């Protein structure tokens, strides 16, 4: 089986790559990145095939998007992107375009790392954007769709996000003040846990869509 990954240089994406490479039933992992990484030359990464691509020109490399399962963990912040429009390209358009092409090229399963609170009707731009992608992916016809909605992520990013570090720290300290039912939804979660559940979910026999809210990710 061949796995496709976008967003593999990100916090969850890096862990998804590790989890996939550890599985004997995965023959190859194909990663699409904007800048090269040294990982493909490290021990244990022999099954990784990495392509440095221009996400603005997806049509020029769409023939490479051939595999059985697509893991989509691409994402950015507005400050990194520079504007809402540029953030939308990364968090919605690129992911949608690649998913469409992957399905056209024969992929049968799709796993999306979304966000807690994702809702196409949300008044908040980020959550609305995430919700729109979740909804629109459903029309592509994948046999299996897995959507994970983790709360704030923990882990060491290549490019640290100060706001994320502060928010996760505050949430950790404030958790005892929240009702038990709410704690599991807002509790910061390690990226490795999210990635492990994402990979395992892709191999569950259940056809159709499975949604993992943050509390579901903790107990899976």
Asked about 126 being catalytic, the answer comes back as yes
Sorted by sequence, the CB contacts under 8 Å of residue 16 that are 6+ apart come out as 5, 8, 71, 73, 195, 198, 199
Rounded Cα gap, residues 62 and 64, in angstroms = 5
Q: Which of these is catalytic: 126, 144, 154, 212? A: 126
Asked about 130 being catalytic, the answer comes back as yes
The b-or-e profile of 164-177 (16+ CB within 10 A means b, else e) is beeebeebeeeeee
Given a contact cutoff of 8 angstroms between Cβ atoms, the answer to whether 70 and 37 are in contact is no
Rounded Cα gap, residues 65 and 107, in angstroms = 9
Q: Which of these is catalytic: 18, 47, 103, 130? A: 130
The residues that are catalytic are 126, 130
């Amino acid at each position: 089986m061949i796995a496709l990954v976008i967003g593999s240089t990100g916090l969850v994406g890096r862990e998804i790559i590790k989890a996939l490479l550890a599985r004997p039933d995965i023959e190859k992992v194909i990663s699409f990145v904007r800048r090269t990484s040294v990982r493909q030359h490290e021990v244990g990464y022999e099954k990784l095939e990495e392509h440095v691509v221009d996400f603005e020109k997806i049509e020029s490399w769409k023939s490479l998007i051939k595999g059985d399962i697509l893991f989509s963990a691409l994402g950015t912040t507005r400050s990194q992107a520079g504007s809402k429009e540029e953030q939308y390209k990364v968090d919605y358009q690129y992911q949608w375009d690649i998913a469409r092409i992957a399905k056209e090229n024969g992929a049968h399963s799709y796993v999306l790392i979304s966000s807690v609170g994702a809702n196409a009707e949300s008044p908040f731009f980020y959550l609305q954007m995430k919700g729109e992608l979740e909804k629109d992916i459903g029309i592509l016809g994948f046999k299996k769709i897995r959507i994970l909605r983790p709360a704030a992520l923990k882990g060491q990013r290549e490019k640290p996000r100060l706001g994320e570090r502060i928010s996760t720290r505050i949430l950790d300290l404030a958790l005892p003040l929240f009702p038990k039912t709410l704690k599991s939804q807002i509790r910061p979660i390690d990226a490795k846990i999210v990635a492990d559940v994402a990979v395992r979910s892709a191999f569950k026999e259940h056809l159709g869509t499975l949604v993992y809210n943050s509390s579901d990710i903790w107990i899976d």
